[in-house]
Structure formats: C-alpha cells, structure tokens
Structure 1
C-alpha cells in the first residue's frame, strides 16, 4: 500500500472544475474537452488545469463531489481518474471504484423519510406551481430530488423564495444554479458524504488522520461543504458570488469563468507544501 495522503480535496465539478462554453467566459488559454453528450463536446478545462488535476490526484486524495446524477457523472472524463471514491447526487450516492454504495444509499433514503415530505409529495406540489411558459424541463435525479431547467427571463420573480419557503417547512430546500432550480431534501448534502469518505480513507490507511480537508464549489448546494471544510475556496462567479456568501478564511478567486478552475487547482496544490493563504475575502 502506498503512503497515506496528506490532504483531502473535495471539489465540485460544474462551474468549479469544468465549464461549458457558456460558463467559460472569455479565455485565450488552450482547452480540452472532458465531456461529450450525444457525441457533441459539452464541458471543458484549460489544458493547464487538466495537467494540474492529474498531478494533484497523485499527491492528494481527490474526491469529485457533484450534484450530477450517477449517469451524468459517468459522462465526464476528468483528468486523474479512476477515482477510488466519488460523491454524486449531491451526496445521495457514494461511488466506490465506480459502483454505488448500497449501504450509504439505504441510510440516505431512511434519513429522507424521517426528515419530512417524500419525493412524490414534493414533485406533486411543484408541478402545481409551474407551467410551460417558463419551465423548459422537469427532471428527477436518482430518485432523490428534482430540478427544473427554466427560462430565467420568464421565471416569476417570487417563485424561488415562495417555493423555498414551502419546502423549508417540510425538510427540503430550493436553490438556483444557473438555469436550474433544485429541490433538495435536507438529508441529502455533500458535506455528510465527504465526511463519510474521509472516515473510510483514514480507516483504510489511505489518508493521514490529521490531513486537512479542502473544498471548492460555486453554488448554494456547496455552501455546507465549504463551511465544514478546514479551508475552502470558491470562484468569483456563480450562485455563491451572487449571494455574497462568505465565511472566515474563505478564499475567493481573482478570476472568473474557466480561469478560476486553474486558480483553484493552484490553491489546492499550494496546500501540499504549506498553509494556503486566506485569500481574497468574498
């Protein structure tokens, strides 16, 4: 067995590590495609970021942590793979060598049932509040949560706040990430899954017991994970930027768009050789 890793890196993917053309912003850097959908290129990293991700995966325990479903995560060819662990479905699933952990999922399902409303009740209530004039897609995700793809310009201005209020009374919450509005049970969160993987890595001798956990993410669904980490970084774009979200010691990148991915990877790498700076406050 190799020596235990000195650092755990839990990182969101979309708009943190990987970027669509629309999310990338202006860049003159060379890029590589890391995801295709129906044969068409979809998501990118800069070539430099891809190299840094491969290097980081050798030196640290890297944990891809995404709200994507298992199927959606499977489309990504993230540099540094294969991953011993990955967190998908916003923490609802843990993949072990690419296979969903059934014990973890049973525990999540039980916690959702104990926490309030079930998915069927939530979906029914949501369908009664939307219409085709502004909702482009209604999707379920791994039988855990649901999300809408919306026309932002046509979305009723009070919809998200009103819907989130209804959800909060029933053990759920609602948040927006780009054109997607997620409806998520409180029991399904990235930070709990990250803590579980950390415990397993330490127990197996693959992570030092005193290793710090670093985290990166751009959306409201990442906030709890960032707050639970020893140190955290977010890009200067996305939902958390719009909300002005911060916490003591949080680093915010100078760059926005795809260049922020490089900056985040540099920040992770710097932590391998010494304490990373607190960085620019939010």
Structure 2
C-alpha cells in the first residue's frame, strides 16, 4: 500500500538501500532552481573542472552518513565509473555501486570485470548495436540544439541539449525508432540517453543483493528499498519491495505510479532529504520505536 506522509513504517529486517544519484540524492544548481539554491544550507559533493557541480543539503548529508552506518547502501546511477568517482558522498566508500545504468558493478572501488563480461555476452545479438544507434542519432540532430553527443562506457550514448531549442517531436520520434530495435530512451533535464533495453539497474542490483546474502551481510528475506526519478530508474522501482520517487523529474512528468512506490511531498533538494528520512523510517529500530 502507499504510505501517507506521517504513517508509521512496519518493522522489517535490515534492508538493502538502493538510490539513484542525480536529481534524486544530489542536485546541481540548475536541478534545484535559483530560489532553492539560494535558500538552502548546501554542501558541495562534486567538483568538476575546478568548479562545484553537485550538492546535498546539510541535513541530507547527515542522514545519508547515518544511514550508511546502519545498512548497506548501494548508489545506482547512469554515470560511468569515471563520473561516479568524482562524487564525495557522505558514508562512502560504499562497498558496492551500480554504474553505467547497470552495465558495471564497482566492488570495493574496483570494476567487476566478470559482470561486464556477462553484460557484453547478454548484448550480443540483442537488437541494434551501439554503432548503428549512434549513426542513426547523428542523422537526426544538429548543432542548433545539441551541444554534445557522448558515447559512454562503450555501452550507451547520450546528448547534451539546449532544451529551449529541442524540436518538439524529437523525443517521441527517437523513442519510436529505438524501441523496436531493443533500446530505451530517457530524457533527464538537458541529457537524452539511449541505452540497450537489456541493460538495467534492477538486474545489477539483484546481483549485488545476492552477493550480500551469500556473504551474510543480508538475510535471505532482506527487502530492497529504492529511490529514483528517471525512466531508467523505473525497473529498479518496479523490482523493489518498496520505493520512493521525488515529486519532480521524468517519472513525475510521466505520472509514474505504483502501489508500493511513494511520492515525496517536496521537490528539488528537499525531496532528497525526504527520501533519506523515509529510508531511515524503514530501518528496524525506527519501526520498533
């Protein structure tokens, strides 16, 4: 059932906490908006090219640090390993992280090559290859509205666009081309991603959960609690025992609603605080109290 904002959370065994990062847990100034950026007490958690890029509220920093000391927290992100390692998250280093939208698992700071081999095998013959998709994408864009086209981790591609100039029908047309060829399209702010549909955050997270059960960190019945804001997080939220999404972002615009997925009351960086408070409320000690 969907919990009301003040409803108590039933006690459970120690859960696995899985959270998307950008626009769910960490926020750029643009993602927050100038008013929220000016009003909140913020901590910088990412510097890129000698400039601050991503932030959390000071309350969110405290909450995530405390949470990471009580339960296994797994960052689950579309970022590549290099992009992920730029972030200094409270509670880190995390034992496991899912990056490249599930294309890679980082364990104790090291890329899990066996998982990537599994992904590469899975992709063989499963729809259009990356070169075909990139060639088609190039034929559909121009510099009047696209700032960059990037290939990420030899796995997927994305555009950085000027949203105010983006053609109205581009996203629908591009999705229509990609879907029957086994690719998923997602727009998150200024970035438009295309990735193989067989590569998912949920599959990589399930692998991490199995490993944590095998080594005794989690019990066999340990639930997964997940948070995310974008279409590429939908499969993770669907597979989770319970989930939460912010009242902003791609899933919010799509009206994504599931019985076991709560929606925050706040948006922007305050939604990140609310998500972390929700995770805390789901911990066994909080449920018992």
- TM bin, normalised by shorter chain, reads over 0.9
Quote the residue 1:175 is aligned against.
Answer: 186
Corresponding position: 1:130 with 2:141: yes
Gaps of 5+ in 1: 277-282
Shift of 1:169: 1.3
Corresponding position: 1:216 with 2:224: no
- CA shift digits 1:82-126 (9 cap, x unpaired): 111000000000001111101100111111123111111111111
Corresponding position: 1:119 with 2:105: no
Give the distance between the partners of 1:97 and 1:64, measured in 2 at CA. 13
Shift of 1:249: 2.4
Give the distance between the partners of 2:124 and 2:161, measured in 1 at CA. 28
Corresponding position: 1:262 with 2:270: no
After TM superposition, list the pairs within 5 Å mapping 1:80-159 onto structure 2.
Answer: 80-159=91-170
Corresponding position: 1:234 with 2:242: no
RMSD, aligned α-carbons: 1.3
Give the distance between the partners of 2:79 and 2:137, measured in 1 at CA. 20
1:63–1:83 contact (8 Å) kept in structure 2? yes
2:14–2:284 contact (8 Å) kept in structure 1? no
Quote the residue 1:9 is aligned against.
Answer: 17
Give the distance between the partners of 1:275 and 1:234, measured in 2 at CA. 21
Give the distance between the partners of 2:284 and 2:212, measured in 1 at CA. 21
The more displaced of 241-250 and 223-232 is 241-250
Quote the residue 1:280 is aligned against.
Answer: none
Give the distance between the partners of 2:126 and 2:240, measured in 1 at CA. 24
Give the distance between the partners of 1:23 and 1:263, measured in 2 at CA. 16
Classify the secondary structure of the residue corresponding to 1:201: helix
Quote the residue 1:19 is aligned against.
Answer: 27
Shift of 1:273: 3.2
Give the distance between the partners of 1:217 and 1:159, measured in 2 at CA. 24
Equivalenced residue count is 272
- CA shift digits 1:36-75 (9 cap, x unpaired): 0011111000111101101100111100000001100010
Quote the residue 1:279 is aligned against.
Answer: none
Corresponding position: 1:40 with 2:51: yes
1:112–1:186 contact (8 Å) kept in structure 2? no
Q: TM-score, normalised by structure 1?
A: 0.94
2:20–2:233 contact (8 Å) kept in structure 1? yes
| Higher RCO (CA 8 Å, separation ≥ 6 residues) | 2
Gaps of 5+ in 2: 1-12
Q: TM-score, normalised by structure 2?
A: 0.92
Corresponding position: 1:74 with 2:82: no
